[in-house]
Amino acid sequence: MAKEYTKAGKEALTICAVILKTHYEVLLRAKIKIAMLFADAGFGTPAIMEHGRPAAASIKASTVIERTLGISDAIMVIDANVWLTLNEASKHALVHHELQHIEIKCDGDGAVIFDTANRPALTMREHDYDLSGFGTTIGIYGADAVEQIEFDKFRKKTVGQLVFGFDEKPEVAKPVEPSEPVDELPPIDACMDDMIKAAMKFIRETRRATTSSLQRRLHIGYTKAARVMDELEERGHIGPPRGSEPREILMDLDNAAA
């Protein structure tokens, strides 16, 4: 049968909305619109192919024409037949996985870059691992994450035990430089300020302050996450880098208004 597309129903849209609200505040603040479709190529036939291999879902940034028409900023397509085989947690994990690809482009100062449609420009983030997966979704959904399911299948086909390491990138202490007076520091733009607030919320929730974990939660590049951590340190919310250990948390973890 020819491949058919249908608009996603309430279940998928609700899952997407919940994940955006819970994990991607930066995308919500930028009012990024995600269109969701189901693709059906018939039972037993993959509806989606990525890099020559069957995929459960895919996501891509919309064209400038689509964004100008207000259709969407990104389009997520899910294999309808795969979706039917997933339990509730795995459905959340699959949608979360695809959303993690979306990253808002910012300039070197952290300001949002806009395209010709006057919408925040988007870039597609690559997978953390060569086996096409994100550590964040594995950490949240465990055995129900699509990544973990595929890793388990791969492991069973190998001889002996295959161990996947999900170590975070170590933070490297920078040379100590003379600090400037607070009133001489450059102003923080709105995009960076939103990331600072989201970072503080994340640190309070997880009781953990590392650049790599912040990078995954805010869905930003490692360099930008490092700038957010430097700003948090400058404001006295966290301590300096401690090699591969998480930074010391100095802010009041129980006071969300701090």
pLDDT of residue 159: 45
**Stated pTM of the model:** 0.56
Task: Tell me what the mean pLDDT of segment 87-114 comes to.
Answer: 89
Q: Which of 36, 50, 29, 35 is nearest to 8 (CA)?
A: 36
What pLDDT, on a 0 to 100 scale, did the predictor assign at position 161? 43
Question: How confident is the prediction for the chain on average, in pLDDT?
Answer: 80
pLDDT value, residue 128? 64
Contact 116, 67 (CB under 8 A): no
SS3 string, 92-141, reads HHHHHHHHCCEEECECCCCCECECCCCCECEEECCCCECCCECHHHHHHH
pLDDT exceeds 70 at position 257: no
* Predicted confidence (pLDDT) at residue 195 exceeds the cutoff of 70: yes
- The predicted pLDDT at position 155 comes to 66
Residues of the chain above pLDDT 70, percent:
81
User: What residues contact residue 240 under an 8 Å CB cut-off, 6+ apart?
Assistant: 173, 233, 247
- Using DSSP's 3-state secondary structure scheme, residue 59 falls into strand
What does the pLDDT look like over 170-185, one tens digit per residue?
Answer: 444 444 444 444 343 3
The torsion angle over the Cα atoms of residues 160, 141, 92 and 33, rounded to 10 degrees, is -110
Strand pairing category for 122-124 and 102-104: antiparallel
CA-nearest of 256, 24, 9 to 137 is: 24
Q: How confident is the model at residue 17 (pLDDT cuts 50, 70, 90)?
A: very high
What proportion of the chain, given as a percentage, has pLDDT over 90? 30
Q: How confident is the model over 55-63, as a mean pLDDT?
A: 93
Q: Give yes or no for residue 169 having a pLDDT over 50.
A: no
The DSSP code for 37 is E
User: Where do the structural domains in the chain lie, given as residue ranges?
Assistant: 4-156, 167-253
Query: What are the tens digits of pLDDT across the range 144-163?
Result: 888 788 777 766 665 444 44
What is the CATH class of 167-253?
mainly alpha
Asked if residue 255 has pLDDT above 80, the reply is no
How much is the pLDDT for 141? 85
Res 164 pLDDT > 70? no
The residue-averaged pLDDT of 186-206 equals: 75
